[in-house]
């Protein structure tokens, strides 16, 4: 099976929301995603296997700074490298848009995501107390600096 990474479009939103409901504790509305993908400064992608959306990633940039907002992979496809491919593809696109620094927040308890971000080059810069709800939890703030970035996606 060939994994395809492509820009997120409106027809993808039901699949994105389904994945989000399976994976994340605080879900966005379909309206929020619709507004985000229409923003010319957004970088929103889906991962497809045989026409089925199995993961997604969203972000936004302004000037030389970017933020990754959400990323998830369907549970039955996790631990197969799809999240890493999505993340590397997102980093490559931010780099092409001249973003110098990329930020992401991660639940302190989400060691799988934290380890993935660290593996691709993010480092922890601070802690945001009680950032998340449902349940209340601290966020680790991580940064990726593009100064020595080499294209990582396939």
pLDDT of residue 154: 46
Determine, yes or no, domain membership for 21: yes
pLDDT of residue 147: 77
Determine, yes or no, domain membership for 153: no
Structural domain tally of the chain?
A: 1
DSSP state of 29: P
Average pLDDT per 10 consecutive residues for the chain, totaling 154 residues: 93 95 86 95 96 96 95 95 96 94 95 94 95 90 83 52
| Cβ-contact 115, 142 below 8 angstroms | no
| Cβ-contact 24, 16 below 8 angstroms | no
Range(s) of the domain holding residue 79: 3-148
pLDDT of residue 26: 76
CA angle 11, 75, 86 (to 5 degrees): 60
Which residues are identified as catalytic? 105, 117
Determine, yes or no, domain membership for 40: yes
| Cβ-contact 92, 45 below 8 angstroms | no
- 108: domain CATH number? 3.40.630.30
């Amino acid at each position: 099976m060939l994994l395809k990474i492509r820009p997120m479009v409106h027809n993808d939103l039901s699949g994105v929301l389904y994945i989000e409901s399976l994976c994340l504790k605080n879900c966005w509305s379909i309206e929020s995603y619709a507004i985000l993908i229409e923003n010319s400064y957004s970088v929103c992608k889906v991962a497809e296997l045989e026409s089925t959306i199995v993961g997604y990633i969203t972000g936004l940039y302004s000037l030389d700074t970017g933020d990754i907002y959400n990323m998830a992979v369907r549970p039955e496809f996790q631990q197969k490298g799809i999240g890493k491919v999505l993340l590397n593809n997102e980093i490559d696109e931010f780099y092409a848009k001249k973003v110098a620094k990329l930020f992401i927040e991660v639940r302190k308890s989400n060691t799988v995501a934290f380890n993935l971000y660290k593996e691709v080059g993010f480092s922890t810069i601070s802690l945001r107390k009680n950032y998340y709800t449902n349940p209340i939890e601290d966020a680790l703030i991580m940064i990726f600096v593009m100064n020595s970035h080499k294209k990582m996606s396939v």
